[in-house]
Amino acid sequence: MTGSSGLGIGAFKQRLPREGEALVRTRMLSLDPANRAENQSRYYLVPAFLMVAPDLMTEPNGNGICAEVDMGLVAMHIIQKNPPTDNALKQEWFWSTFEHVDNVPLAQNACDPTAPQDCSWFGNLDCTADLSGSTEYSFFNRACPDCEVNQPPRKSSGNPEFSWNATPPYAKDYLISHDGTTGLGTQVSRCWEIYSLTEDLNQQWREQLAQVDSVFQNYMLVGTQWGASLSNPPDPKVPQNAVPGFLSNSVVETYLQTLYDETKPFQSGSCISCHSAAVLPAATKASANFSFLPFLAEPALVRKDLATMMQEFQQEAGETGDGSAPPGDSGE
């Protein structure tokens, strides 16, 4: 940015350090390997083994799930904190979130991020989808255009709260009944518009990526949010610790998009407002610097002692019929 009223290059003449904390979080969609050739043209794919413990199954069968699947990238957060500098660049966290272009439809009368106080869907997640286009969406089934959207699935009764079916669809217990049949997953729409400048940027990048036949031509930037302190906020219902006030990924924060309660940070459609509640497990009043990872590092969350798990894994992998170690392994 140049000009007398902007932040000129002179402020960055010094060599900036390359360090700076960064985190990447993704959401993947399980796809059938039989359709790999077709899916590779639309998704960034990662071949994987899906493993689910028996106690998490709808009907525990003693084996759980061990299936070969293709994981298709549908959403990604890239989070980075500015490194310390001697100039005006503040040490703030930046959240950038990306989605696959086929994920969900935009809502009718979608909220304008430049005027969040006027959002007609504020506090209401049932943002009616605009289906004027012809896109076949991954998280919205056109067979039920009037179904409620962005509604959490009902928990199982008598099983784990959220259990897996032994075969696809793995979330069979949570499919929505429609017209006497069962077969619709959670219907999702995007309640917020994307900034017009961001849309222009997406178009430019997608065109360039298409020229090199990159699968990333099928992805888009939804928005970027950074920590800030707002003076004279437009409305008390708008978060005051981030710009823009609201930012969410439709398939990661589906059930939070238009919510905000300053007394309940985990019910907020703002990345920074939610993460501001992150604390250390040993001192719950001490900030964990916007990261929930330290709080998750609890021995109680580990299903089995790591040494025991590794020993069992090695025993299973090393069995060749006579109990000997696999080739290339001395067994010591």
**Confidence at residue 321, expressed as pLDDT on a 0 to 100 scale:** 43
Q: Omega into 244 within 30° of 0, i.e. cis? A: yes
**Confidence at residue 326, expressed as pLDDT on a 0 to 100 scale:** 37
**Confidence at residue 215, expressed as pLDDT on a 0 to 100 scale:** 96
Q: Do the domain assignments include residue 293? A: no
Q: Do the domain assignments include residue 283? A: no
**Confidence at residue 307, expressed as pLDDT on a 0 to 100 scale:** 66
Q: Which residues are CB-neighbours of 119 under 8 A, at least 6 positions away? A: 111, 112, 191, 192, 246, 258
117 CB neighbour count, 10 Å cutoff: 14
**Confidence at residue 277, expressed as pLDDT on a 0 to 100 scale:** 74
**Confidence at residue 305, expressed as pLDDT on a 0 to 100 scale:** 62
Q: Do the domain assignments include residue 109? A: yes
Q: Do the domain assignments include residue 248? A: yes
Q: Do the domain assignments include residue 64? A: yes
pLDDT tens sequence for the chain (332 residues): 223 222 233 333 344 455 666 788 899 999 999 999 999 999 999 999 999 988 888 876 668 899 999 999 999 999 888 777 777 777 778 889 999 999 999 999 999 998 888 899 999 999 999 999 899 999 999 989 988 999 988 876 666 778 888 888 888 888 887 777 667 889 999 999 999 999 999 999 999 999 999 999 999 999 998 877 666 666 667 777 778 888 999 999 999 999 888 788 778 888 777 777 777 777 777 777 777 777 666 554 455 566 666 676 667 666 544 443 333 343 33
**Confidence at residue 8, expressed as pLDDT on a 0 to 100 scale:** 31
Contact in structure between 192 and 110 (CB atoms under 8 Å): yes
CA angle 147, 255, 235 (to 5 degrees): 110
Q: Rounded to two decimals, what is the model's pTM?
A: 0.78
Domain that holds residue 61: 9-278
Counting the structural domains of the chain, the total is: 1
What is the amino acid identity at position 4? S
Q: Do the domain assignments include residue 250? A: yes
Q: Rounded to an integer, what distance in angstroms lies between the CA atom of residue 32 and that of residue 37?
A: 10
Q: Do the domain assignments include residue 78? A: yes
**Confidence at residue 153, expressed as pLDDT on a 0 to 100 scale:** 86
- Element holding 25 (H helix, E strand): strand 22-31
162 CB neighbour count, 10 Å cutoff: 12
DSSP H helical ranges for 64-178: none
**Confidence at residue 93, expressed as pLDDT on a 0 to 100 scale:** 82
**Confidence at residue 61, expressed as pLDDT on a 0 to 100 scale:** 62
Q: Do the domain assignments include residue 46? A: yes
**Confidence at residue 138, expressed as pLDDT on a 0 to 100 scale:** 95
